[in-house]
Structure 1
Amino acid sequence: MALQHFFESAGGKGLTVAVAAALLIVAAFAGKKRANQTQSPQVQRFDTRALVVSALCIALSFVLAQIRLFKLPQGGSVTAFSMLPIALCAYLFGVKWGVLAGVCLGLMNLMFDPYVIHPAQLLIDYILAFGALGIGGVFRNQKKGLLKGYLLGIFGRYVCAVASGVIFFRAYVPKNFNAWTWSLWYNFTYIAAEGVMTVIVLCIPAVSRTFEGMRTKIDAGRA
């Protein structure tokens, strides 16, 4: 449990914040470099906007995650739409910013609520699982792109959660279950429950039009 104690320490928390900040700064700097090479101020403003909005999405997602509607005994919670802001970030700015925002969110969770028993488990549960929420950006230009992207993102997180459960938490599997069956069902319960609630909201015409309008304005500023 040495890793657990490290991330609970002030030094561990400081390092986590530094890594998250560095990821955002590097991404913004890379965007500015491309802008200078092409001499396009529009692209530079877009990267600045992506940095600010991504940070807001990360913060909003973290706050919503603290509103736990239901918490399972062995980890995992149904929260107040906490996965949606990361999917929205990917929808507005693409896969790169979505995955980056997800990774930063995972690092924030690692800083405030760490549970680490192995370096590979840390990678799966806090980096890959939350980063996967941003892969739905591949659908950003498609009809109902946010809805499709959200579903792909939470599926990616589900895959990571199942893998972690099978590899690292099989000791908690009840009798009459094997590790795969239990992990598939256990992680499905809370991810699917929150997913269904979020999909219902995203299917409200006014909500979908609002997000589509945001993306249209951002794309216009990027052109």
Structure 2
Amino acid sequence: MNNFINTIKESFIEIFKSPLSLATLIGIIILILALIKFKRIKLDAKIMSRIGIALALATILHLIKIVDLPNGAGSINLGSMVPILIISFIYGPEIGMLAGFLFGVIYLILSPYILHPIQVLFDYPLPFMAIGLAGYFKNKKLIGTFIGMFVRFIFHFISGVLFFGQFAPDGWSPTLYSLIVNGSVVGGNLIVVLVIIALLPLNRIIEKSSSLHSKQL
């Protein structure tokens, strides 16, 4: 029994010594917890159709580039996360995270850049799923938007440090490179999204959507 416990302890020590192993463990745990939550979501035809519309709009807005950063570092688009955010504000964080997760899968299909399976996890489903966290801040939409986008940045940042450090210019550390590149991409998109969210009559949209949904129930 002691040998078994010591083996487990050593395994955990090795995991925490390796950033890639630690990221793998964290990513898989988050994914499993998310999938468990998704199983509990009750979807009706109206919600599914609205998620479908949000995903279609998000994909179209993603393809409209405002700024293309050099060397394939990414782009600033016309607020592709706004439809996902609206779904999150209307239906809550769980459905918002599901919509974000699905968008991440669509993004992977449209623009695959694959270096490692864990990199795929941290660059596609997980960061966009994080946008759904905004649903926890229905009454403070700008704060919710910032938090969702910030957590998205964290996932991209981890991916950049672990997998894209090889592309860093001479004299740059992987951490600095990831911070600047992902900070520019996510930060630029955050500014666009915050402007759109501030200008949209979101309270009216949410109230109208909620009343229509209640009537159908």
For 1:164-203, what per-residue CA distance to the aligned partner results, in whole angstroms no more than 9, with x for missing partners? 0000000011122211122112111121122112212322
- Which is greater in Rg? 2
Q: Structure 2: 5+ residue runs without aligned partners? A: 1-34
Displacement over 4 Å in runs of 4+? 218-223
Match of residue 111, structure 1, among 94, 109, 112:
109
Could you say which residue in structure 1 is the equivalent of 2:54? 57
State the identity as a percent.
27
* 2:162 maps to 1:162: no
Shift of 1:150: 1.6
Within-5 A mapping of 1:3-152: 31=42, 47-72=44-69, 73-140=71-138, 143-144=139-140, 146-152=141-147
Alignment TM-score, normalising by the size of structure 2: 0.74
**SS of equivalent residue, structure 2 residue 126:** helix
| Alpha-carbon distance in 1 for matches of 2:62, 2:142 | 20
Shift of 1:104: 0.8
* 2:194 maps to 1:196: no
> For this pair of structures, how many residues does the alignment match?
180
Amino acid at match of 2:136: V
Which structure ranks higher in relative contact order (CA pairs < 8 Å, sequence separation ≥ 6)? 1
| Alpha-carbon distance in 1 for matches of 2:41, 2:62 | 30
| Alpha-carbon distance in 2 for matches of 1:163, 1:172 | 15
Provide closer, same or farther for how the CA distance between residues 82 and 178 of structure 1 changes in structure 2, counting only shifts above 3 A: same
| Alpha-carbon distance in 2 for matches of 1:112, 1:152 | 26
Shift of 1:221: 4.8
For 1:79-127, what per-residue CA distance to the aligned partner results, in whole angstroms no more than 9, with x for missing partners? 0000111111111111111111111111111112111111101111111
